[in-house]
């Protein structure tokens, strides 16, 4: 697997990530819907890794919906065999 720097170096992802900056406190539900739409069928390993990593960086917000989606993404990555289940 590529390093996270290589994974996040994607134009579509960078544009989405930039558009989400500074909006989490007021638009978290809409942002999660946008991330879900970005993930599509939830089968693309790179997209799942990007979103999992990104949501992990938002831990300081203490938002149950963000935490829930991060857990779902992690479980999906485990289910698809992209990460080991511990």
pLDDT tens per residue across span 9-59:
999 999 999 999 999 999 999 999 999 999 999 999 999 999 999 999 998
Distance separating alpha carbons of residues 52 and 69, to the nearest angstrom: 9
Distance separating alpha carbons of residues 8 and 11, to the nearest angstrom: 9
What pTM, to 2 d.p., does this model score? 0.92
Distance separating alpha carbons of residues 82 and 65, to the nearest angstrom: 23
Q: What are phi and psi of 74, to 5 degrees?
A: -60, -45
Per-residue pLDDT at 65 exceeds 90: yes
Higher pLDDT, 72 or 6: 72
Q: Is 68 left (phi over 0), alpha (psi -120 to 50) or beta?
A: alpha
The half-sphere exposure of 1 on its side-chain side, counting CA atoms within 13 A, is 15
CA nearest neighbour of 41 among 5, 70, 80, 8: 80
pLDDT tens sequence across 36-48: 999 999 999 999 9
């Amino acid at each position: 697997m590529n390093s996270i720097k290589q994974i996040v170096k994607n134009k579509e992802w960078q544009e989405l990530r930039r558009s989400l900056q500074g909006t989490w406190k007021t638009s978290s539900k809409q942002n999660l819907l946008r991330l879900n739409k970005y993930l599509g069928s939830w089968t693309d390993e790179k997209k799942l890794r990007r979103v999992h990593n990104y949501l992990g960086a938002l831990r300081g917000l203490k938002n149950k919906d963000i935490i829930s989606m991060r857990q779902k993404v992690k479980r999906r990555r485990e289910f698809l065999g992209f990460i080991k289940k511990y």
